Structure 1
């Protein structure tokens, strides 16, 4: 896949739209793919969501999200594993082989990051056979270190790769999200390693805005509005031979308050200017 044929709207970017509105909007804008969040899918149910996407003539680039696997309470562990098994089945039913996994932060009162990562490793081992059975990749997403305590004890692509290493690359892989990893001084080597291992399952793009919003989750922005060097980062990903979709995933109150079709037009233009010229390496 080349050019605009790789651009995907992640439904988080148009938060005010229902699933149908997001899928129809993407198709209307000429986009070939959508990245779905499970809350949007739940609005209509998995079979109806799969039909809606299929009828619109677009594909599902990924499903978000699985994960939150760091609990110590046995009941919470069982519930998390059950939810992730369900997410794997949903991804397969929706026609995507990418389930984005946000592994979770520290349980209340816990300060042991290494122990939390070890629990994630154990639970990925539990889920890997289920993923393999369904033809779905568990795509581990490293999050910016400011989220280490509450959302993801994996902060770098290297950490995600180390956790994925015991498993085949078509079962456990990684996400490269520009917002979360642009700062990493070892990023070039880590992306090259991910490519050599065949483990890049998804490339997600948005910018990192300053000043950081009172809610840090909302500090994402359109490409070109922040501090990320998309040319350099996209070339690193392209050099691995990654040929999958490029998802635009933005959490931003101003973007959410903008009419969806306008968001898509801006998103497409920014992708064309800041990402697309560098996809050939």
Structure 2
């Protein structure tokens, strides 16, 4: 890793790396993007996550508590808990009942609501990150098969341009620039498949990974950040797609794990 990278690695990443991979604008600021994880979550979003976990731990229809009880539990202001409750109600997690014996009650949300809630609260959970990687590995053959069936010379040129941007940011950009370039390449790859559900699921999983890395980098010294392994996997992925090598492309996709840039995760990984 170059001196320029090292000077800005963890600190710049934690400050600059603020959004998911759908666009540069979203990447540069905290935002809520529908069914995907919210990066740089607000206090209301965090409180809504706490409420979701409470609701998930009890049967549907059971009372969670009053608004004031939840406010004290979450340690937030009246305005913040009002916003958090509104978020939880919108997502089908809880419902409110007025009058004596009223309060906030757990709902039995639809499978889609449960999935959306999982993505929103997954950013700082080790188990959620690991599960997201497992799901990504499972759908990798579907995505690659779809991409190789549709890939054109123009698509190859676009991937090559993205890869060149990865190389430039690897040598002269900040860590946030580099990781953005890698995920922009993956977003372009997903878009080539044209499958809306598969595309959305894949990008949502990418959000979980990048959000998790952002959290990890807040406590990672600059000298423990190394983009090289991820940069090498990007090269392998684009090369395999250019050669129409299905197995190699799947392998490269599965080897793309955002924590590769953290030395301690690389050392902890099984050989």
TM-score range, shorter chain: under 0.3
TM-score norm. by structure 2 comes to: 0.28
Instruction: Give 1 or 2 for the bigger CA radius of gyration.
Output: 2
Give the number of the structure with larger relative contact order, counting CA–CA contacts within 8 Å between residues 6 or more apart. Answer: 2
TM-score norm. by structure 1 comes to: 0.27
Bigger helix share? 2
Bigger strand share? 1
